[in-house]
Amino acid sequence: MIVILKNGATDEQIDHVIRRVEAIGLQSHLSRGTFRTIIGLIGDESLVNKESLSTLPGVAQVIPVLPPYKLASREAHPESSVIDVSGVKIGGGNLGMIAGPCSVEDRDRMMRIAESVCQSGANVFRGGAYKPRTSPYAFQGLGEEGLKILREVGDRFGMPVVTEVTDPRNVELVSQYADMLQVGARNMQNFVLLTEVGKSRRPVLLKRGMSATIADLLMSAEYILSEGNSNVVLCERGVKGFDPATRNLFDVAAVPVVQGLTHLPIIVDPSHATGRPDLIPPCALAGLAAGADGVHIEVHDCPEEAKSDGPQALLPEQYKQISHQMRLMADLLGKTISPLAKDAGGPTPPQPPTEALA
Ligand code: PEP
Ligand code: MN
């Protein structure tokens, strides 16, 4: 950590800062320049309270040298992490291709959509059973009934399933059915929820909040990691912009920025980022070209009947086309679309307790 003193800071003020630093067990290194004096702090930065140091008389700025997201940072873990979602690897050159409808709907429809995206090469099936909706009158999801359908569909096609958990009280229930827990944009800073998914052993898909900075996203990941769950995949899904031409502003540069700062994989979600089916294919490819570790796309066989996010859904046929292009892009980049465990000869997805399916 570096303490920059104000122009004209007195010797007394400088001595006071040094005494405070040494009192907490750190060493200090004073450097007097022509215009500025700085004090370098040597030792365990976590002992320092940056805010209280900033309030000392004569202090202009306190700059941490290490990022506050200790476990998520690349310094802590230089190698890119590879997250295993019931046999499907995401990160380190392995691409996670997540596809499925916004909401879990009736069983037959889910089977049809899953069959089609699976044939197109998706390796994780998605669908929300608990939907965070702006309006309390909008469809809220099928709840546990939806989880049962999702599990059945996943087992039928040997695909791991990811679904959103919106309430800390439901983490255990959702974990009984899902291979991966999604924390949605609206809940990215629900710290109680982050702590609960951190206690779970299920991999987590953590979506960037619509007004969250990259540092905010990484601090939220830190909540999960600090509880002992290191299986976190980040997701760039667009941030609030000023232009209603797209639903959100797709921050494609966030992908390489995040990868420079953390070892955790990051995937892109062009569906929520753009809200427009015509923009999803180019943005999916742009995300991969920028280095994303996977792509998350909403697919529905009859968007006009979809219970949520119908206007942004790709038709199964459209998903097939973009999947083909994503595969070509993956080849070009020397990356692998992770095979399903059943195709790779690995273990099959964990089964929920039998009473959960009863
Ligand atoms: C979703 O995945 O359906 C969803 C609600 O996403 P987000 O949290 O990114 O809006
Ligand atoms: Mn959605």
Backbone angles phi, psi at 69, to 5 degrees: -90, 85
Ligand 1 interacting residues, C-beta cut-off 6 A:
102, 128, 184-186, 207, 237, 272
Taking Cα atoms as reference points, which of 253, 239, 217 lies closest to residue 72? 217
- Eight-state DSSP code of residue 168: G
CB atoms near residue 172 (< 10 Å)? 12
Q: Measured between alpha carbons, how far is 202 from 164 in angstroms, rounded to an integer?
A: 12
Ion ligand 2: residues, Cβ under 5 Å? 102, 309
Tokens of 113: 């959509």
Measured by CA distance, the residue closest to atom 1 of ligand 1 is: 102
Q: How far is the CA of 187 from the centre of ligand 1 (A)?
A: 10
Residues 6+ apart with CB under 8 A from 282: none
Q: How far is the CA of 312 from the centre of ligand 2 (A)?
A: 8
The one-digit pLDDT tens for each residue of the chain (358 residues) are 999 999 999 999 999 999 999 999 999 999 998 888 999 999 888 888 889 999 999 999 999 888 999 999 999 899 999 999 999 999 999 999 999 999 999 999 999 999 999 999 999 999 999 999 999 999 999 999 999 999 999 999 999 999 999 999 999 999 999 999 999 999 999 999 999 999 999 999 999 999 999 999 999 999 999 999 999 999 999 999 999 999 999 999 999 999 999 999 999 999 999 999 999 999 999 999 999 999 999 999 999 999 999 999 999 999 999 999 999 999 999 999 999 988 887 655 555 544 444 4
2-63: CATH topology = Alpha-Beta Plaits (3.30.70)
Task: Name the CA dihedral angle for 188, 190, 192, 195, rounded to a multiple of 10 degrees.
Answer: 10
Tokens of 141: 């999801």
Residues 6+ apart with CB under 8 A from 205: 98, 162, 180, 181, 182, 183, 233, 235, 267, 296
- Eight-state DSSP code of residue 200: S
Q: Measured between alpha carbons, how far is 104 from 140 in angstroms, rounded to an integer?
A: 11
Residue 35's pLDDT is 84
Identify any residues that bridge with 63 across adjacent strands, giving them in sequence order.
Answer: 2
H-type alpha helices, 121-213: 144-157, 171-177, 191-199
Ligand 1 closest atom vs CA 126 = 2
Residue 349's pLDDT is 54
Q: Which ligand is nearest to the CA of 185?
A: 1
Domain boundaries, the chain: 2-63, 83-344
Q: What is the DSSP string of 235-302?
A: EE--B--S-TTSSSB--TTHHHHHHHHBSS-EEE-HHHHH--TTTHHHHHHHHHHTT-SEEEEEB-S-
Ligand 1 closest atom vs CA 185 = 8
Residue 351's pLDDT is 55
Measured by CA distance, the residue closest to atom 10 of ligand 1 is: 185
Q: Are 2-63 and 83-344 in the same CATH fold?
A: no
Q: Which ligand is nearest to the CA of 300?
A: 2
Q: Measured between alpha carbons, how far is 223 from 69 in angstroms, rounded to an integer?
A: 9
Ligand 1 closest atom vs CA 132 = 5
Question: Does the reported pTM lie above 0.85?
Answer: yes
**Structural domain 83-344, CATH architecture:** Alpha-Beta Barrel (3.20)
Ligand 1 closest atom vs CA 235 = 9
Tokens of 85: 């979602």
